[in-house]
Copies of this chain bind each other. A is one copy, B any other.
Amino acid sequence: MLTPGQRKVFDFIKDYISREGFAPSLAEIAAGLGTSSRGSMHKQVQALAAAGLIRLLPGRKRGIELVEDGADGDTPPATLPLLGRIAAGQPIQAIPDEQTLNLTEFLLGPNRFALRVQGDSMIEAGILDGDTVIVRRSDTAEDGDIVVALIDNEEATLKRFHRRVGGRIELAPENRSLRPLVLDARRVRIQGVLVSQLRTYD
């Protein structure tokens, strides 16, 4: 296990290299951590090399290389630690009985598929252009579900589903600047119900 100092040095080196394309000098590492001792950084860097996280080219200026190994040494798990609940203005509160997030059971399931969303029609439901949605195959839906529907066997659309009187169906976007569609049920074929949504920021 790394000490706090080693951890900070290692993180700094990784950031620096990805930002600048070459390794930092000891003085730069020190400055990056708010100290001024090159000697101290030398010790830290030696410790990191001993831990196998970096490789040193002794004597060379900026002679630090990252050891390319899976990651930090840990294999990425199928689960992520779920630290708790974050609410503005409060410390992170642990969630009892729920310490890990199992992505598999969280997102996977029978008859599911994914779609990439294009457009802003569901923006007020928090589904943005470029998001990925996971859909459970189903030809029926509950009132209020968000569904993937095929209109006239032609156009596909992601909308909120409502039954209307007279066997009509409303497909409502979540975007004030767009109009809901109200259609005869025969023209609408439900293809699936939205079960989850995800987005990456990389």
Interfacial residues, chain A to chain B (CB-CB below 8 A): 1-4, 6-8, 11, 14-15, 17-23, 57, 61-65, 70-72, 74-78, 80-92, 94-95, 99, 101, 103-104, 106-119, 121, 123, 126-128, 131-134, 138-140, 145-146, 148, 154-159, 173, 193-202
CB-based contact A194/B201 at 8 Å: yes
A1-B65, A22-B1, A196-B199 given as contacts; is B15 within 8 A of A86 (CB)? no
User: A76 contacts which chain B residues (CB < 8 A)?
Assistant: 75, 78, 104, 108-110
CB-based contact A116/B1 at 8 Å: no
Q: Determine the distance from Cα of A200 to Cα of B81 in the docked complex, in whole angstroms.
A: 18
Q: Determine the distance from Cα of A122 to Cα of B108 in the docked complex, in whole angstroms.
A: 26
Q: Determine the distance from Cα of A108 to Cα of B83 in the docked complex, in whole angstroms.
A: 15
CB-based contact B78/A101 at 8 Å: no
User: A121 contacts which chain B residues (CB < 8 A)?
Assistant: 88
A76-B104, A108-B78, A110-B72 given as contacts; is B22 within 8 A of A7 (CB)? yes
Q: Determine the distance from Cα of A107 to Cα of B106 in the docked complex, in whole angstroms.
A: 12
Q: How many Å from the CB of A196 to the closest CB on chain B?
A: 4
